[in-house]
Amino acid sequence: MPARCMTEMADTCSVTDFFDEEQLARLHGPTETGSALPNAAYTSEAFHRLEQDTVFRKSWVFAAFHHQLKNPGDRYPVDIAGRPVVVVCGEDGKIRAFHNVCRHRGAKLVNEPQSSCKPLVCPNHSWSYSLEGKLLARPHFYGGGKHDHNRETCHRADLREIRCDTWHDWIFVNLDGSAPELNQYLKPVTDRLSGYDFTALQIGSTLEFDIKANWKLAIENFIEPYHVFSCHPWLHSFVSMEERTAPEFQDHVLLCGYEFRKTDPARGEGLPYFPDLPEEKGHRGDWFVLFPNFALEVFPDQVDVFIATPTGIDQCRETIALYFIGDGAHADRYSEGRNAVIQNWLDLNREDIGIIERMQAGRSSEGFDGGVLSPYWDPVLQHFARLVYRGMSEEA
């Protein structure tokens, strides 16, 4: 890697600075003789900043849950691609996203989630903004006691809105505005979800884990079933390796699934199923990754959402939201089934996190250079690596 890309002068780097000719050839070559991303993709601050400025700015990225913004005035701050963003429920019930900075001196407006607070008020000079991002007032703007309330002449000072859209309980933003419409971006997933009535879903529980590893390792681990027999004894007994098929991909979506022959408490035995679920869906589990970092698993009785949020080059936060069908989310008679599902996710993640963190540690070794890949299980990992490379290569 050129020395300049290992310094703070990373703004001049491009993605090709992190690949030599051999690595680039392996990335785009056949899986059986190819490899995935080089170590720098998991260890270099310069790579991380470039990835944030390209992949995470250009894509639809999960920002917040709609159930966190039920009422007008609810607002939720989040960092996307290293930028402060605030998601707001307006007076009209519409969800909007804004750059979370005052237009005057750039102070961050919202530091923590808030409920039913009508104007957004800057703590620095008390400039105030409506829930639609319009400047309302600038106290003492023309001198002591000379306030500015003339909204028609100050649109330059309105908050800068960010493209935002919602799919069921999941709010996405696209910072640079260049992504296709969200429904088109989701189409490879939604086309495969016919028969599942997502309006029946209710949030049951949310789990969070801080992992000492790059976010990509969490996503790669999520979509890759090859490790199941070695790392997850229960999961292997539920569906063996012989019953599992290799993951697939369709452009920016990674996908995999299986059929299970029996139910099990750890997978929600006894919980209500989706209404009018087609018979062939009654014994299936399917999971998807929507590039870059939003994933979900769909079962007859639940949907489990998985988000890997970068918090640094070698750390991420994993959020898992568990949704159940109707009364399955809260009714006392289903508490045993819900608790079994929650405990299963806790157990699986404890098994996964140690492995993910070991993989992060291994990225510091010259003995690893992108991997020797399985031609059966790993084409999806190589495709994910190519998506990262492509997202960092194209014009923002």
CATH number at residue 154: 2.102.10.10
Chain center to CA of 13: 25
> Are residues 316 and 295 part of one domain?
yes
Give the pLDDT band (50/70/90) at residue 269: confident
Least confident of 57-61, 120-124, 154-158, 365-369: 154-158
Q: Would you say residue 140 has pLDDT above 90?
A: no
Domain final residue pick, 135, 167, 199: 167
Report the C-alpha gap between 127 and 157 in whole angstroms. 10
> Are residues 184 and 111 part of one domain?
no
- Asked if residue 10 belongs to a domain, the reply is no
Encoded tokens for 327: 């009364």
- Asked if residue 30 belongs to a domain, the reply is no
The pLDDT of residue 151 is 66
The pLDDT of residue 266 is 74
Give the pLDDT band (50/70/90) at residue 5: low
The pLDDT of residue 150 is 66
> Are residues 371 and 245 part of one domain?
yes
Collapsing DSSP to helix, strand or coil, 396 comes out as coil
Confidence (pTM): 0.93
Encoded tokens for 111: 């530091």
Domain final residue pick, 116, 143, 167: 167
Give the pLDDT band (50/70/90) at residue 152: low
Q: What is the mean predicted confidence (pLDDT) over 256-274?
A: 86
Residue among 136, 134, 132, 133 at smallest CA distance from 93? 132
Give the pLDDT band (50/70/90) at residue 264: confident
Domain final residue pick, 167, 200, 235: 167
Residue among 153, 105, 144 at smallest CA distance from 125? 105
Least confident of 232-236, 263-267, 308-312, 360-364: 263-267
Report the C-alpha gap between 85 and 97 in whole angstroms. 7
Mean pLDDT of the chain: 93
The pLDDT of residue 148 is 85
- Asked if residue 368 belongs to a domain, the reply is yes
Residue among 180, 140, 136 at smallest CA distance from 155? 136
Encoded tokens for 187: 């189409």
> Are residues 319 and 214 part of one domain?
yes
Residue with tokens 């990674």: 254
> Are residues 386 and 326 part of one domain?
yes
> Are residues 187 and 158 part of one domain?
no
- Asked if residue 174 belongs to a domain, the reply is no
- Asked if residue 345 belongs to a domain, the reply is yes
Residues whose CB is less than 8 angstroms from the CB of residue 321 and which lie 6 or more positions away in sequence, other chains included: 65, 169, 203, 205, 206, 304, 305
Report the C-alpha gap between 88 and 267 in whole angstroms. 35
- Asked if residue 25 belongs to a domain, the reply is no
Give the model confidence (pLDDT) of 291-326 as tens digits: 999 999 999 999 999 999 999 999 999 999 999 999
> Are residues 284 and 341 part of one domain?
yes
Domain count within the chain: 2
Q: Are 200 and 234 in contact (CB under 8 A)?
A: no
Element holding 47 (H helix, E strand): helix 45-58
Q: Which residues pair with 253 in a beta bridge?
A: 250, 290
> Are residues 226 and 122 part of one domain?
no
Per the structure, the complete domain to which residue 369 belongs is given by 179-393
> Are residues 155 and 91 part of one domain?
yes
Q: Would you say residue 1 has pLDDT above 70?
A: no
- Asked if residue 48 belongs to a domain, the reply is no
CATH number of the structural domain spanning residue 314: 3.90.380.10
* pLDDT more than 70, % of the chain: 95
Q: Would you say residue 2 has pLDDT above 80?
A: no
Give the model confidence (pLDDT) of 41-94 as tens digits: 999 999 999 999 999 999 999 999 999 999 999 999 999 999 999 999 999 999
> Are residues 290 and 250 part of one domain?
yes
Least confident of 6-10, 111-115, 146-150, 310-314: 6-10
The pLDDT of residue 26 is 96
Q: Which residues pair with 250 in a beta bridge?
A: 253
> Are residues 224 and 140 part of one domain?
no
DSSP structure string for 320-383: EEEEEEGGGGT-GGGHHHHHHHHHHHHHHHHHHHHHHHHHHHHTT-TT-SS----TTT-HHHHH
- Asked if residue 381 belongs to a domain, the reply is yes
Q: Cα-atom radius of gyration of the chain, to the nearest Å?
A: 23
The pLDDT of residue 145 is 86
C-alpha triplet 289, 197, 200: angle, nearest 5°: 105
> Are residues 384 and 241 part of one domain?
yes
Least confident of 10-19, 337-346, 381-390: 10-19
Give the pLDDT band (50/70/90) at residue 153: low
Least confident of 82-86, 201-205, 242-246: 242-246
